[in-house]
Amino acid sequence: SDDLAAHLRTTPDGYRLVPVEPTDDMLVAGQEAWVIIKASRAAIDDCQHADATYRAMLAASQESGT
């Protein structure tokens, strides 16, 4: 039905649709974030480092319209 199709197309709050495989823009953004964090020698743990890298990749995926 149309209601079911509309429901299946929605994305819950706090979620984003992203490509199954990262785009080139996402990979570049993730690598740049990784390098910047490493260069800053910030005292952050691996989880924070991974989070910053992921967020950069997610932002790049949204900028490309995916």
Q: pLDDT tens for the chain, 66 residues: list them.
A: 677 777 667 778 888 888 889 999 999 999 999 888 888 876 777 788 888 899 999 999 987 654
pLDDT of residue 24: 95
Contact (CB, 8 A) for 25 and 61: yes
Q: Give residue 65's pLDDT.
A: 56
Q: What's the whole-model pTM score? A: 0.69
Residue written as token pair 């740049």: 32
Q: What is the pLDDT of residue 3?
A: 77
Contact 16, 23 (CB under 8 A): no
